[in-house]
Structure 1
Amino acid sequence: MDGDRMITLNEGGVSRRGAIKATATGAALGATFALSVQPIQAQTMITTPADGLTAGVVKVKTKDGKEMDAYRAMPASGQGFGTILVVQEIFGVHAHIADLCRRFAKAGYYAIAPELYFRQGDAKAVSDMQALLREIVSKVPDEQVMGDLDATVAFAKGEGKADTAKLGITGFCWGGRIVWLYAAQNPALKAGVAWYGRVVGDSTPMTPKHPIDIAKDLKAPVLGLYGGADTGISNESVDKMRAALKAGSPAAQKSQIDTYPDTPHGFNADYRPSFRKEQAEDAWKKALAWFKANGV
């Protein structure tokens, strides 16, 4: 798929409509790629069909009474599915994140990706990375994100198909950091998988604490998946996080961080040049095994 094609999402499945131009603005959640990551690497991009799934956009009622869009996928029949919160990259819930939800659904899970920036703006419609960081991402408070994730779990439970007693969370880039924070916040969480999320940072009103600050307080074990050649997340900071986990809670001590040598940030992002097929496939297997081993 190239940047001028759109995936149209319906409850029953996914259909391609070639030659229909689309931008992120006004498109269904998960239907297009963020403008800031164009052009797309069509030759490596993975597209997971929705046959055998119930997949599409749903409305989640947040604690402050607002409606938040989320992309949800699950097997079309059955119930009692383990539940996985899928936390977006910095680019919002675009087509790659929706595809990851379908991949989890194909593995038998109820997967849901809430649009966690929805109060601040549509990250998919911003073409300039610096503007995205300045105008949207920097204005998203961690406290808001934690509350919206809790609301998403309540929505999943209310649908009657998910077993939220078997709750996991995974996130990528911006969402990888959120995984660590949520694992310290929700005692009902069974496990997390954090993909290349930063672990250190400055304390700000929006982000008062970072993973290394709360490592000792983890309530669920987290598997960290990192690239050894990540130019934005140093190996030194990851090693510090490992040390903090060893000195932490039982869940923290059960956690682990795997680093892939000579591998860049975003190695699972199959639509970008950073994609590394071998590492991504290995990490995906590890993620599924981690959730299974920890009761998700």
Structure 2
Amino acid sequence: MLNTDLITDGHALIDADPARGQANRRTALKAALGVGYAAAVLPALAQTAVKTPADGLTAGEVVIDVNGFRMPAYRAAPVGKTGLPVVLVLSEIFGVHEYIADTARRFARAGYLAIAPELFVRQGDAKSVSDIAKLMSEVIGKVPDAQVLGDLDATVKWAAANGGDTSKLGVTGFCWGGREVWLYAAHNPAVKAGVAWYGRLVGQASELTPKHPVDIAAGLHGPVLGLYGGADTGIPLDTIDKMKSALAAGSAAAKASNFVVYPDAPHAFHADYRPSFRKEPAEDGWKRALAWFRQNGVA
């Protein structure tokens, strides 16, 4: 069954883009190593505003074994370094396209092993779907949270065997991935800290999404920094208030969690390939994310 909560999140992304229409359904630029843009929602000439070079990095696609399933992922790390702190980078509904890959490279340049797994590849290739409703109904709406959490566990295991120090484990994500950050911080006791960018906090329970962040807030293993937009039409501010109340009644990590709300920022304000991008909150959020990881032992 289609998860209507995810549809709302997808609509928030579309509504932030005034360039909707036929142009958004053309195929945009593709980067090396098979990392592409999502054709469904991007202007034909869309490019990331921030371009992080790969020189000095080991960067590109890898394959992670998940109980016999070969899950692709993009990883970036400083060349020749081991014992690196690990950051999982969780994508929006559009999969691991160039913006997500670039974000991984930004973390690598800050000294991390950053890994962005393709978390709905079993359901389909999000980057190749040319219609947002089809993307939601045929791909994203069929992804179980349990599958995502298991895939992330396998990603952590891969990181430990490939130069990462998983005693210094962080997780960050955007939109759809932002919601999963909260869930994973409650799922894996090894998570030292999370940074959730405008991920939905409440919703109706379903077979595929039995719990939402507000339901698991009290049991966080690592504190989460929530970076949200005050002008986000898909995530009402009262849901942030509900999340704050749930965190205040929880574990030490829950109590240590925090929110920063940028008053005039829309949904996807960090997504520098979209018209929703807001430079000042995006840059401030990035600085806060790095500081949050350092503060909580992910460095």
**Which TM-score applies when normalising by structure 1?**
0.90
C-alpha distance in 1 between matches for 2:156 and 2:220:
19
- Displacement after TM superposition at 1:6 (Å): 3.1
Partner residue in 1 for 2:168 = 166
Per-residue CA deviation, residues 231-275 of structure 1 (Å, 9 max, x unaligned), is: 000001011111111111110000001100011000000000000
1:58 correspondence with 2:82? no
- Counterpart amino acid of residue 214 in structure 1: I
- Counterpart amino acid of residue 231 in structure 1: T
Partner residue in 2 for 1:47 = 51
Contact conserved, 1:190 with 1:295, CA < 8 A, in 2? yes
C-alpha distance in 2 between matches for 1:288 and 1:71:
20
Q: 1:293 to 1:260 in 2, by over 3 A?
A: same
1:97 correspondence with 2:97? no
1:151 correspondence with 2:154? yes
C-alpha distance in 2 between matches for 1:141 and 1:134:
13
- Displacement after TM superposition at 1:79 (Å): 1.3
C-alpha distance in 1 between matches for 2:45 and 2:282:
15
C-alpha distance in 2 between matches for 1:170 and 1:250:
20
Contact conserved, 2:126 with 2:139, CA < 8 A, in 1? yes
- Counterpart amino acid of residue 149 in structure 1: L
1:118 correspondence with 2:142? no
Q: For structure 2, which runs of at least 5 residues remain unmatched after alignment?
A: 1-25
Contact conserved, 2:40 with 2:129, CA < 8 A, in 1? yes
C-alpha distance in 2 between matches for 1:141 and 1:187:
21
Per-residue CA deviation, residues 149-168 of structure 1 (Å, 9 max, x unaligned), is: 00000011111x11111000
Partner residue in 2 for 1:202 = 204
- Counterpart amino acid of residue 118 in structure 1: V
1:37 partner SS: coil
C-alpha distance in 2 between matches for 1:121 and 1:289:
35
C-alpha distance in 1 between matches for 2:69 and 2:47:
39
When the two chains are superposed, the root-mean-square deviation of aligned CA atoms in Å is 1.3
- Displacement after TM superposition at 1:7 (Å): 2.0
C-alpha distance in 1 between matches for 2:46 and 2:140:
27
Per-residue CA deviation, residues 86-127 of structure 1 (Å, 9 max, x unaligned), is: 001011111111110000001000000000001100001111
Q: 1:169 to 1:270 in 2, by over 3 A?
A: same
- Counterpart amino acid of residue 182 in structure 2: W
1:288 correspondence with 2:280? no
Partner residue in 2 for 1:19 = none
Partner residue in 2 for 1:277 = 279
- Displacement after TM superposition at 1:44 (Å): 6.1
Question: Across the two proteins, how many residue pairs are aligned to each other?
Answer: 273
Contact conserved, 2:189 with 2:222, CA < 8 A, in 1? yes
Q: 1:4 to 1:204 in 2, by over 3 A?
A: closer
C-alpha distance in 1 between matches for 2:30 and 2:252:
46
Contact conserved, 1:40 with 1:272, CA < 8 A, in 2? no
Partner residue in 1 for 2:236 = 234
Q: 1:47 to 1:222 in 2, by over 3 A?
A: same
Q: 1:61 to 1:139 in 2, by over 3 A?
A: same
Quick check: which one's helix share is greater?
A: 2
Contact conserved, 2:36 with 2:96, CA < 8 A, in 1? no
C-alpha distance in 2 between matches for 1:215 and 1:8:
38
**Which TM-score applies when normalising by structure 2?**
0.89
1:51 partner SS: coil
Partner residue in 1 for 2:70 = 67
Contact conserved, 2:28 with 2:43, CA < 8 A, in 1? no
- Displacement after TM superposition at 1:41 (Å): 6.3
Per-residue CA deviation, residues 37-82 of structure 1 (Å, 9 max, x unaligned), is: 221564762221101100000000003x100000000001221110
Sequence identity percentage: 62
Q: 1:259 to 1:40 in 2, by over 3 A?
A: farther
1:6 correspondence with 2:30? yes
C-alpha distance in 2 between matches for 1:228 and 1:144:
31
- Counterpart amino acid of residue 226 in structure 1: Y
Q: For structure 1, which runs of at least 5 residues remain unmatched after alignment?
A: 10-27
Partner residue in 2 for 1:12 = none
- Displacement after TM superposition at 1:4 (Å): 5.0
- Displacement after TM superposition at 1:8 (Å): 1.5
Contact conserved, 1:41 with 1:272, CA < 8 A, in 2? no
- Counterpart amino acid of residue 142 in structure 1: D
